[in-house]
Amino acid sequence: MSFESLGLHADILRAVSEKGYTTPTPIQLQAIPPVLDGKDLMGGAQTGTGKTAGFTLPLLQRLMSTRSNKSKPTIRALVLTPTRELAAQVGESIAEYGKYLPLRSTVIFGGVKINPQIQKLRNGVDILIATPGRLLDHVSQKTIDLSHVDMLILDEADRMLDMGFIHDIRKVLAVVPKEKQTLLFSATFSNDIKKLANSLLSNPTLIEVARENTTAESITQVVHPVDKKRKRELLSFLIGSNNWQQVLVFTRTKHGANKLTEQLNTDGITAAAIHGNKSQAARTKALANFKSNNIRVLVATDIAARGIDIDQLPHVVNFELPNVPEDYVHRIGRTGRAGNEGEAMSLVCVDELKLLKGIESLIKRNIPTVTLEGYEPDPSIKAEPIKNGRGGPRPQKKTNHRKPNGRKPNASNQQQRPQSKAKPSNQNRQRNTANRPENFGNR
């Protein structure tokens, strides 16, 4: 079936053709007709299968068929994304597919000055792509009117509806009309997310092109066991010995991303980091340099990497496994896009074996394990709890204990510092290892 058979506007088809697309992907083929019919929808497809166009094309079509005669456009379609990068990507997609249409769109997110955004909103837009935080900033400042929204689209819905975003989503729902079409698109949908989404949608059509929470067959996956302290050494070896020129590397924390970037540059491998603490200008520059091959490695955290869309990205490396198994699907989905082949490697230490089991349980397959010569893990090292990273235990806040009169307690009343424990001998370490149920040999 072709795009022409879907009943899209001639100017939309012209833009699609200029991008070189002739046949809809499965998610587009199944999602576009019900969206054009005005139905609410939950669309699940593997990352890189064209789900952005799956809502962009019918969105443009519906807005063209219900055009207003007002001299200044009003916001009729609102697209929410979890990250700035994904918002920018969706904005580019809408601009490309709608370049021959008399529709205005703009993107707003945090990390940049708000006044230019206010001016664009005053000039009028039909389609707004936004991150929840900056959108609510405009709502609180009364610089935006969402009373005419006919379509609400939540992209990367699994993360948008995760506990970290649900409160902002509900605040947005409170200021948009109740009568509207709502779409949720994502690469993964857990049962809990489906229940939550059903409370936001009205008789939604559920489309899952691929089996739930699966990874693309075009991606070769492998696990390299290695001690935690030798991960950076192994990563530099893999990049250098294989002459990789474009590698996306994931860490669990922002600090870890910065540290690894510095170490790689010290090793002579050009690298840049992208995460939430970076300014928008720095994030944009790092991504642009990576896409243009000015740097070989982009080190990213999970949230910042949402929306990174690079044609034919060959390599993704999990320097650290994610705490949330679904994030593994999103991570490696940055490669092997649109049917291209890709390679995803995970450097796994003994601390992460439980995380690996969770990932394998989610994707319903065992990931091949290849131990590289010279980087064999030390079997005497015991697993330690993983404390940092999204989804992991949060560090406790420091409590400033005070007497009723407001003065700090005397030093004598403060809790004594625990004495450091003596390190176990090699013999004890080996004995503890023998009793440990989990190691790479019996996973």
Higher pLDDT, 420 or 13: 13
In a shared domain, residues 161 and 33: yes
The residues, any chain, with a CB within 8 Å of residue 320's CB and separated by 6 or more, are 231, 250, 251, 252, 256, 347, 352, 389
In a shared domain, residues 196 and 75: yes
Please say if the pLDDT value at position 175 is more than 60.
Answer: yes
Tokens of 145: 């009117």
In a shared domain, residues 46 and 195: yes
In a shared domain, residues 248 and 359: yes
In a shared domain, residues 48 and 155: yes
Tokens of 96: 């490309």
In a shared domain, residues 157 and 229: no
Tokens of 388: 């940092």
Tokens of 413: 């009343």
* Residue 49 CB-density burial (10 A; 0-12 exposed, 13-18 middle, 19+ buried): buried
Please say if the pLDDT value at position 437 is more than 70.
Answer: no
**124 located within any domain:** yes
In a shared domain, residues 348 and 267: yes
Domain boundary residue among 208, 236, 266? 208
**135 located within any domain:** yes
In a shared domain, residues 37 and 177: yes
Dump pLDDT digits (tens) for 318-335: 999 999 888 888 888 888
**149 located within any domain:** yes
In a shared domain, residues 252 and 189: no
Q: For 214-228, what is the mean pLDDT?
A: 86
In a shared domain, residues 62 and 176: yes
**369 located within any domain:** no
**64 located within any domain:** yes
What is the domain-level CATH number for residue 152? 3.40.50.300
What is the tally of structural domains in the chain?
A: 2
What pTM was estimated for this model as a whole? 0.66
3-state SS class at 192: helix
**252 located within any domain:** yes
Q: How far apart are CA 355 and CA 83, in angstroms?
A: 25
**378 located within any domain:** no
Contact criterion met (CB below 8 Å) for 207 and 42: yes
Higher pLDDT, 439 or 373: 373
In a shared domain, residues 151 and 256: no
Amino acid 113: pLDDT: 93
Q: How far apart are CA 5 and CA 272, in angstroms?
A: 44
Q: How far apart are CA 356 and CA 109, in angstroms?
A: 34
Amino acid 46: pLDDT: 61
Contact criterion met (CB below 8 Å) for 146 and 75: yes
Contact criterion met (CB below 8 Å) for 15 and 37: no
Domain boundary residue among 181, 208, 235? 208
- Percent of the chain at pLDDT exceeding 90: 54
**247 located within any domain:** yes
Q: How far apart are CA 172 and CA 352, in angstroms?
A: 37
Q: How far apart are CA 405 and CA 86, in angstroms?
A: 51
Domain boundary residue among 164, 188, 208? 208
| Residue 409 binned pLDDT confidence (cut-offs 50, 70, 90) | very low
Name the pairing type of β-strands 127-130 and 77-80: parallel
In a shared domain, residues 223 and 169: no
Residue 293 belongs to what domain range? 219-363
